[in-house]
Amino acid sequence: MSPLIIANWKMQLTVPESIALAEAVRVHERGAGTLVLCPSFLALSAVASVLVQTGIALGAQDCAWSDRGAYTGAVSPADLATLGCAYVLLGHSERRVHFGETDHMIGQKLRAALQANLQPIFCVGETEDEWRSGQRHAVLLRQLETVLRGVALVGAQRMVIAYEPVWAIGTGQVAAPEDIMAAHAFIRDVLGEVLGATARDRVRIVYGGSVDAETVQACLQQPYVDGVLVGKASQRSDRIGKVLTAALPH
Ligand code: PGA
């Protein structure tokens, strides 16, 4: 199965820049389901038009926990699906840190996204302090259990988990390959315990945190790594081109 490459453009690009980058990325298409572009909300519609009749999927960077309601400023998962989004990032550490998102809120968003037929890309990962004090597995367990346990997650096997150590995001410091492998194996075990064997076997687990053209292959070569989530190195056409060429050789 080919790896899943997810590009997170964050709030870094204008709408015209997003359109131009999506146009540049089109030449790298390698069949449906391999590449996901996550532009800002305002660029989704325009980028959706660029991606028509390509196998490149569209993802949003967040969504609300409800399809409809008095939630000023929020974005409905059902509307994202109608717009052409197949995926939605949820629980990114930047949402947790800057917007106060809790595991409980992320759990509600995840259920709403699945109900809207979106594929959630649920981000988990430890901070530097937690990493240094040996709490990585405890943190991953807490995040996964709080978000996933309790309510039946219909279609949960469509979900993607992104292991993103907070200390690796935007720092140029990629986690060591053996650490990535160990974290992914642990996440897969927890998925089996919380959601059962089908989810354990089917949910894809991707790594994110300072992945670029130089490091992408080493990440993808690790067992249990089904893809990568790329921020900075996906936000310029030359850089994303190199990442995709390294990750998906012809
Ligand atoms: P980065 O971002 O590749 O710039 O570290 C990854 C992410 O935040 O998803």
Per-residue pLDDT tens digits of the chain, which is 250 residues long: 789 999 999 999 999 999 999 999 998 888 888 999 999 999 999 999 999 999 999 999 999 999 999 999 999 999 999 999 999 999 999 999 999 999 999 999 999 999 999 999 999 999 999 999 999 999 999 999 999 986 667 788 899 999 999 999 999 999 999 999 999 999 999 999 999 999 999 999 999 999 999 999 999 999 999 999 999 999 999 999 999 999 987 7
Residues 6+ apart with CB under 8 A from 49: none
Choose one of 4, 8, 36 to mutate for the ligand 1 pocket test, by most ligand atoms within 8 angstroms of C-beta. Answer: 8
Show the beta-strand stretches assigned E in the chain: 4-8, 35-38, 57-60, 85-90, 119-124, 160-163, 204-208, 227-230
Q: Which atom of ligand 1 is nearest to the CA of 8?
A: 9
Give the pLDDT of residue 210: 96
Ligand 1 atom at minimal distance to the Cα of residue 162: 9
Report the pLDDT value the prediction gives residue 151, as an integer from 0 to 100. Answer: 60
* Whether the CB of 125 sits within 6 Å of ligand 1: no
User: Is 28 marked active-site?
Assistant: no
pLDDT value of residue 149: 80
Which pTM was predicted?
Answer: 0.96
**Residue 92 annotated as catalytic:** yes
pLDDT of residue 215: 96
| Ligand 1 contact, 39 CB (< 6 A) | no
3-state secondary structure (DSSP) of residue 91: coil
Please tell me the residue having the least CA distance from ligand 1 atom 1: 231
Are the C-beta atoms of residues 106 and 122 closer than 8 Å to each other?
A: yes
Give me ligand 1 centre to Cα 165, in Å.
Answer: 10
Q: What angle do CA 32, 11, 51 make, to 5 degrees?
A: 25
**pLDDT at residue 28, as a whole number:** 87
Q: How far apart are the CA of 219 and the centre of ligand 1, in A?
A: 14
Nearest to 39 by CA among 20, 60, 64: 60
**Ligand 1, atom 6: closest residue by C-alpha:** 231
Question: Is residue 77 lining ligand 1, measured as CB closer than 6 Å?
Answer: no
Instruction: Express each pLDDT in 107-159 by its tens digit.
Output: 999 999 999 999 999 999 999 999 999 999 999 999 999 999 866 677 888 99
Residue 201 CB burial class (10 angstroms; 0-12, 13-18, ≥19): exposed
The residue contributing the CA closest to ligand 1 atom 7 is 231
Catalytic one of 28, 92, 94, 126: 92
Active-site residue identified among 94, 101, 164, 184: 164
Q: Quick one: angle between helices 177-195 and 136-148, nearest 10?
A: 30
Q: Is 230 in the pocket of ligand 1 (CB under 6 A)?
A: yes
